[in-house]
């Protein structure tokens, strides 16, 4: 049997069973609103192939899959095997076909130019600067020319509440991986990976932003 890939980034394997109850039960609808807003930034069309990086328990993946136009395909990867187990169970219960796999963002096991769109949501703040660089480079590699990247994640705070939440998490949770996000550096990291037309589209709660970017068209 092929060994499962391992990352040095943070994964939530040890709390996978608590993930949905905590987010859905204690966010007072914010998690659902955030997920619905993320789907709005995904330009769906027929026969699209989509990759969800750091899919967790698959809630966003399922939401996208329900909106896809046949015969589109969506794949979700996460480094935490227990998260993938839950995601597979949820897709089976919902009778929605999704290919969930254990995988790491910095070494995607997919061919070059194999997806039309890559999405990642509340994932980048779990990995350090080097892994962010490698992950965005991998997302760029697997995207087809003129493919789209959609990223939703912690960003530079724009309100006092956002500042307290973001920087409070940085120090109370001892999560240094948040620094790139809180300093507003995600767009620069995307551009360094090769992405063009990087846009910071909208921010929610003074802390979480939605970004879109494109893979350049190949030269003739």
Distances, alpha carbon 190 to alpha carbons 28, 184, 194, in Å? 32, 12, 7
Tell me, what's the pLDDT at 200? 96
Tell me, what's the pLDDT at 31? 75
- Domain at 13-214, CATH from 1.10.10.10, 3.40.50.300, 3.30.70.260, 3.40.50.150: 3.40.50.150
Least confident of 16-30, 106-120, 184-198: 16-30
CA distance 153 to 26: 19
Residue range 25-35, pLDDT digits in tens: 555 567 778 88
Structure tokens at 179: 């620094």
Residue range 65-117, pLDDT digits in tens: 999 988 899 999 999 999 999 999 999 999 999 999 999 999 999 999 999 99
Tell me, what's the pLDDT at 26? 53
Burial of 45 (0-12, 13-18, 19+ CB in 10 A): exposed
Better-scored residue on pLDDT, 160 or 216? 160
Torsional sign, CA 202, 178, 99, 194: positive
Query: Average pLDDT, whole number, for the chain?
Result: 90
Tell me, what's the pLDDT at 172? 83
Structure tokens at 193: 């990976």
Tell me, what's the pLDDT at 9? 67
Q: Give me the torsion for CA of 212, 189, 27, 78, rounded to 10°.
A: 90
Residue range 38-71, pLDDT digits in tens: 999 999 888 899 999 999 999 999 999 999 988 8
């Amino acid at each position: 049997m092929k060994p499962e890939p391992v990352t040095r980034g943070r994964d939530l394997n040890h709390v996978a069973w608590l993930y949905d109850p905590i987010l859905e039960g204690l966010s007072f609808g914010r998690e659902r609103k955030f997920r619905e807003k993320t789907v709005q930034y995904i330009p769906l069309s027929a026969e699209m192939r989509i990759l969800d990086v750091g899919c967790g328990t698959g809630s966003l993946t399922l939401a996208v899959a329900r909106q896809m136009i046949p015969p589109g395909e969506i794949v979700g990867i996460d480094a935490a095997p227990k998260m993938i187990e839950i995601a597979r169970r949820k897709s089976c219960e919902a009778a929605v076909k999704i290919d969930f796999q254990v995988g790491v963002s910095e070494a995607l096991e997919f061919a070059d130019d194999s997806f039309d769109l890559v999405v990642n949501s509340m994932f980048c703040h779990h990995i350090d600067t080097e892994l962010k660089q490698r992950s965005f480079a991998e997302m760029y590699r697997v995207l087809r020319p003129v493919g789209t990247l959609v990223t939703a994640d912690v960003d530079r705070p724009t309100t006092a509440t956002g500042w307290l939440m973001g920087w409070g998490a940085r120090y109370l949770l001892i999560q240094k991986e948040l620094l790139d996000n809180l300093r507003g550096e995600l767009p620069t990291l995307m551009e360094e990976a090769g992405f063009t037309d990087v846009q910071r589209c909208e921010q929610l709660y003074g802390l979480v932003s939605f970004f879109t970017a494109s893979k350049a068209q190949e030269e003739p």
